[in-house]
Structure 1
Amino acid sequence: MTKTRRLRLLASLGGALAAGAGLGLGELTAALAGGTSPVVGVATHLVDMAPGPAKDWAVKNLGTADKPILIGVVLLGVTVFALLGGAIGAWKPKVAVVMTVLLGLLAILAAATGRTLAANHFVQVLPGIVTLLAATAGIIWVLRALNLNPFGGGERRKAAVAGGSKQHASGNQLATGRNASGDQLTDGRDASGNEVADGPDASAPAGFDRRGFLVTTMALGAAGVGGLVVSRVLPNGVSEATRTGIKIPGPASRAGAVPAGVSADVAGASRFVTPNKQFYRVDTLLTVPKIDPRNWELRVHGMVDHDLRLSFADLLGRRLIERDITLTCVSNEVGGPYVGNARWIGVPIAEILREAGVQAGADAVRSTSVDGLTIGTPLKALTDGRDAIFAVAMNGEPLPFEHGFPVRMVVPGLYGYVSATKWVVDIEVTRFEDFSAYWTDRGWSVEAPIKTSSRIDVPKGFAQVKAGPAVAAGVAWAQHRGITKVEVQVDDGPWQPAELAAQDTIDTWRQWTFRWNATPGNHKLTVRATDADGQVQTADRAAPRPNGSSGLHNTVVMVE
């Protein structure tokens, strides 16, 4: 390997380690101070800047894996950029420093202009500042160990890149191209043909401080790995034990007993109540907030007679109600998994708005999450008598961190992007014409009532079924209207009624089963539902954007 190539490889490695040290120490600072993680800040900025179709593709094809994949892409991009910067630094050290500074500035800019969980602006950008300083100091340290001082020593740098001045085997310095007597030298040999040595290590660049470089790279590596590891083991907000230890008072109004027969007694069909760990999660946060409920506060303001500030204890001291409500994400494709049913406990939103005194002319509520994400909800949906709540519990326990602990909104009949604000901290009564929310800024509809939909759970696509009596099962939903009929079509035959399970409430999904005589061959099963308003689920196919998918779910089975 030539000296020039070796030098570039060493500088490239040093550049990557310097960037890694900066990121590791930045992550540690974020864990200690509560600012924006450099990696998460950049990744969140990419999420916010991504075009709608890209987000739709990620939700559809990657599911909850989209977040770790995006983090990996950011880390890969930083690594490649740092490797390239280090390699360039082998002959242009100042450029390597500038490229490293740019990485740090990117982290600061992403934190300064993006959504954040930090308490103040300086804390918000502090991890980015640490990343900038540590990475810049690291690359300068690396370059100096390689005798590539970016702030001086230009002639030595040129000599190092060119392979350095030669020495005779005896150790005497030789002039470039000639010996001391003026005789012309061939490359690497003197006039007598004797080989010219390059110093103690012929493969090392001139002026190369092997020990200094080793110490430098080990220190940078330790800073990067150590900072990352420690940041992951440090307590981040309240603990799981603190969350589960919260005692939720008994609700003043309990949910009615779930009727017998609400579940389809078919293996593989959805459970009527979706366990918390299996409940879908679709949001834009790359790290889950772990908010201390003792510090949480809900502000109610805007077009109201009286501003309110409510603590978590204030909410728990109010009248709580318990309700079974099915939630659906607008990103759910036809037949998709982003729908689930749970039992919630919370404070009726209408009661809090009534206490604040909503002023005439208001038609919307803008709710804000702890990270600054905004959602716009029709005021009518919060005050028309439906069980819209500030939820504090889910399926018998305090809200899981992933689902909005300590408080989130739950509104029956609306897709989540216009109603289900998690980690909610601010409620502003306003008018739709006076604001735009996060998702509506990205091409989604302002109002989004849930469409009548149905899904086949079993048999799965291309499942093998034995000829003879067979059964299909699934769920249908039309929250706040209810399901009155489900029909199944075999191939192109007539629509046949399915057997409906008992209905809990109009705000929950309804399960169904269909028994049919399976004959050998491939068959297509298609399902459709009818809601209590008499609206039959449309067969017109539409993508989720801008207000929810539509179309009929079908599955092909192979009967043998």
Structure 2
Amino acid sequence: MLAAGAGLGLGELTAALAGGTSPVVGVGTQLIDLAPGPAKDWAVKNLGTADKPILVGAVLLAVTGFALLAGVIGASKPRVAVGMTIALGLLAILAAATGRTLAANHFVQVLPGFVTLLVATIGMFLVLRSLNLNPFGGRRGRKTAAAEGSTRIVGPSPTRPNDRTADLDAVTVGSGGSGGSAAAGAGGAESGERETPAGFDRRGFLVTAIALGAAGVGGLAVSRVLPGGVDDATRAAIKIPAPASRANALPAGVSADVAGVSRFVTPNKSFYRVDTLLTVPKVDPRNWELRVHGMVDRELRFNLADLLGRRLVERDITLTCVSNEVGGPYVGNARWIGVPIADILQEAGVRAGADAVKSTSVDGLTIGTPLKALADGRDAIFAVAMNGEPLPFEHGFPVRMVVPGLYGYVSATKWIVDFEVTRFEDFSAYWTDRGWSVEAPIKTSSRIDVPKGFARIKAGPAVAAGVAWAQNRGIAKVEVQVDEGPWQEATLALEDTIDTWRQWTLRWNATPGNHRLTVRATDADGQVQTTDRAAPRPNGSSGLHNTVVMVE
């Protein structure tokens, strides 16, 4: 465990300093990418945003268990222990070499894995050496009378309690094995004797243990305090120019006056985050570049200054994750500033036959977006700001895509670096390779925020409230059903735009007993929210959200 810990600690430190793939993140990301769809769905549904720290903890526990097993085996088979340690390092290298990466080149990508392999293997040799074990041929050390047996460290002599020499006396037992142990006599057992390997180097072991422990803990601790790219001050220093086209001021009645309803504008710190990365990329905006290429007349490249110097628009847009269960939390509304993607496409000149865009994140994750959704007049943008500030690191700094009306897995590429105009038949994206639909327009949905499930309220006048969304279409009506009664039309808050969610309120008379409230929405196209229940996979959940309330 000491050897493996030192290897991981210094491997993590190398990743923080050089920018390669950390051993823990590399293995964890591979587990995410290789996990079957149902396992991913279960994690998102049941663990929420805690899935990533839980996965990291599971990787560390697995490494600890493997290392302890190697240590137990190493007491009698040191070669096997060294082999297991090497295998652990090779796993870190393989995970980095075959996985997604933020590293600038392949050598840097796998460097932390090599450091882990080297340090862990040397650490294992040092531990075995201090225990007088030789991976290349049994025990090592001087031939002494005790070399063929074992040494027992005997406690203080009861007859000479103040004799320090007696405290350190070693009784050498012959090759009689367990019989020799018995020959030591009962007196030895009574005085707290304990067995150690022949030739055990106590001082060497302590020095080795302290050194390896310090390397592991110190390397891990330092790796966590290093900035790892750019810091918040660098991000905050980015000056977002005033947009040429501003969003309209929010209507005074856009928010329902009910405690507990989701805020109309979701604060950045509260905005949901669902992605496949164990660590948030901190991209240096000075080195960032977006490449636009593929089936276009001219290839374009933009750095951040280029984008900020173009025509910017400001829009209120609600985003929804396809992993969101009916009534789930993975939906939020924000005010975004960005460059219209249609402007970029027009400048590049899209060739006939193209029907898709493959966008790629800085870590290599790919997303496929229908080309028509980027050029049909909706406010699809390369976003550079969120709620009045540069994009937070967690939400794609320095640039991400925002496309109203599409689930994020086919549109909302964060940390984007590549934008290729192409055809769906010529590529497959990360999520479509894992069983999700190629195209995924957001379904008309609604949610009850108040009252919460199994809330206790007093009999009499009561209120139910929540949100409904149908981006790029808008919400026209929301209805609520109490138990099996008739559908009652709720009062809608004023609409901001068709790309944002809309709050609703229903006042009802709560009678004693348990009651089930159910909500449904109708979009501006007249499409009523379906009652057909479906899980998020493959193109978004459906069904009606309901909650049970206890009236006293």
Fold match (TM-score > 0.5): yes
C-alpha separation between the residues in 2 aligned to 1:147 and 1:116? 41
Equivalent position SS for 1:533: coil
Question: Is 1:131 paired with 2:116?
Answer: yes
Equivalence for 2:163 = none
C-alpha separation between the residues in 1 aligned to 2:360 and 2:437? 18
User: Contact between 1:188 and 1:196, CA under 8 Å: does it hold in 2?
Assistant: no
Equivalence for 1:42 = 27
Equivalence for 1:464 = 456
User: Contact between 1:36 and 1:124, CA under 8 Å: does it hold in 2?
Assistant: yes
Equivalence for 1:5 = none
Equivalence for 1:349 = 341
Equivalence for 1:551 = 543
Pairwise CA distance, 1:205:
1.8
C-alpha separation between the residues in 2 aligned to 1:555 and 1:195? 73
Equivalence for 2:524 = 532
Equivalence for 2:301 = 309
Q: Report matched runs for 1:393-404 at 5 Å.
A: 393-404=385-396
Change (3 A) 1:186 1:136: closer
Question: Is 1:263 paired with 2:262?
Answer: no
C-alpha separation between the residues in 2 aligned to 1:240 and 1:361? 43
Pairwise CA distance, 1:153:
4.2
C-alpha separation between the residues in 2 aligned to 1:328 and 1:82? 42
Q: Report matched runs for 1:412-451 at 5 Å.
A: 412-451=404-443
Equivalent position SS for 1:286: coil
Equivalence for 1:146 = 131
Change (3 A) 1:176 1:256: closer
Does 162-171 or 261-270 show the bigger shift? 162-171
Deviations 1:485-515 (A, max 9, x none): 0000010001010000000100000100001
For structure 2, list consecutive stretches of 5 or more residues without a partner in the other structure: 155-165
C-alpha separation between the residues in 1 aligned to 2:142 and 2:73? 13
Kindly provide the amino acid, as one letter, of the partner of residue 324 in structure 2: N
User: Contact between 2:274 and 2:321, CA under 8 Å: does it hold in 1?
Assistant: yes
Pairwise CA distance, 1:186:
6.1
Kindly provide the amino acid, as one letter, of the partner of residue 270 in structure 2: Q
Change (3 A) 1:203 1:326: same
C-alpha separation between the residues in 1 aligned to 2:48 and 2:171? 68
Equivalence for 2:41 = 56
Q: CA RMSD in A?
A: 2.4
Kindly provide the amino acid, as one letter, of the partner of residue 183 in structure 2: R
Question: Is 1:373 paired with 2:373?
Answer: no
Change (3 A) 1:490 1:161: farther
User: Contact between 1:330 and 1:417, CA under 8 Å: does it hold in 2?
Assistant: yes
Equivalent position SS for 2:150: coil
User: Contact between 1:344 and 1:391, CA under 8 Å: does it hold in 2?
Assistant: yes
Kindly provide the amino acid, as one letter, of the partner of residue 346 in structure 2: R
Question: Is 1:292 paired with 2:284?
Answer: yes
C-alpha separation between the residues in 2 aligned to 1:495 and 1:53? 35
Pairwise CA distance, 1:176:
3.2
Equivalent position SS for 1:203: strand
Deviations 1:311-366 (A, max 9, x none): 00000000000000000000000000000000000000011011111100000000
User: Contact between 1:273 and 1:342, CA under 8 Å: does it hold in 2?
Assistant: yes
Pairwise CA distance, 1:165:
7.3
Equivalent position SS for 1:84: helix
Pairwise CA distance, 1:310:
0.5
User: Contact between 1:161 and 1:205, CA under 8 Å: does it hold in 2?
Assistant: no
C-alpha separation between the residues in 2 aligned to 1:505 and 1:374? 30
**Equivalent of residue 88 in structure 2, options 99, 103, 118:** 103
C-alpha separation between the residues in 2 aligned to 1:172 and 1:274? 74
Does 232-241 or 311-320 show the bigger shift? 232-241
C-alpha separation between the residues in 2 aligned to 1:69 and 1:122? 29
**Equivalent of residue 55 in structure 2, options 70, 74, 83:** 70
C-alpha separation between the residues in 2 aligned to 1:488 and 1:161? 85
C-alpha separation between the residues in 2 aligned to 1:441 and 1:194? 69
Pairwise CA distance, 1:234:
1.4
- The alignment covers a number of residue pairs equal to 535
C-alpha separation between the residues in 2 aligned to 1:263 and 1:173? 85
Kindly provide the amino acid, as one letter, of the partner of residue 340 in structure 1: G
Equivalence for 2:223 = 231
User: Contact between 2:359 and 2:368, CA under 8 Å: does it hold in 1?
Assistant: yes
Question: Is 1:405 paired with 2:404?
Answer: no
C-alpha separation between the residues in 2 aligned to 1:534 and 1:163? 89
Kindly provide the amino acid, as one letter, of the partner of residue 71 in structure 1: V
User: Contact between 2:132 and 2:140, CA under 8 Å: does it hold in 1?
Assistant: no
Pairwise CA distance, 1:242:
1.1
C-alpha separation between the residues in 2 aligned to 1:353 and 1:259? 33
User: Contact between 2:134 and 2:140, CA under 8 Å: does it hold in 1?
Assistant: no
Equivalence for 1:26 = 11
C-alpha separation between the residues in 1 aligned to 2:458 and 2:55? 43
C-alpha separation between the residues in 2 aligned to 1:332 and 1:558? 26
**Equivalent of residue 164 in structure 1, options 129, 150, 159:** 150
Question: Is 1:516 paired with 2:502?
Answer: no
C-alpha separation between the residues in 2 aligned to 1:364 and 1:130? 41
Equivalence for 2:72 = 87
Equivalence for 1:8 = none
Equivalent position SS for 2:499: coil
Does 315-324 or 236-245 show the bigger shift? 236-245
C-alpha separation between the residues in 1 aligned to 2:148 and 2:368? 64
Equivalent position SS for 1:57: helix
Change (3 A) 1:103 1:174: closer
Pairwise CA distance, 1:465:
1.3
Normalising by the residue count of structure 1, what TM-score does the alignment of the two structures yield?
0.92
C-alpha separation between the residues in 1 aligned to 2:129 and 2:344? 64
Change (3 A) 1:558 1:405: same
Equivalence for 1:189 = 183
**Equivalent of residue 326 in structure 1, options 306, 312, 318:** 318
C-alpha separation between the residues in 2 aligned to 1:427 and 1:91? 57
Kindly provide the amino acid, as one letter, of the partner of residue 537 in structure 1: Q
Equivalence for 1:500 = 492
Normalising by the residue count of structure 2, what TM-score does the alignment of the two structures yield?
0.93
Pairwise CA distance, 1:201:
7.3
Deviations 1:171-227 (A, max 9, x none): 89776349xxxxxx865438xx89899xx9753221100000000000000000010
Deviations 1:409-433 (A, max 9, x none): 0000000000000000000000000
For structure 1, list consecutive stretches of 5 or more residues without a partner in the other structure: 1-15, 179-184
Kindly provide the amino acid, as one letter, of the partner of residue 462 in structure 2: A
C-alpha separation between the residues in 1 aligned to 2:278 and 2:369? 24
Equivalent position SS for 1:433: helix
Pairwise CA distance, 1:152:
2.9
User: Contact between 2:173 and 2:181, CA under 8 Å: does it hold in 1?
Assistant: no
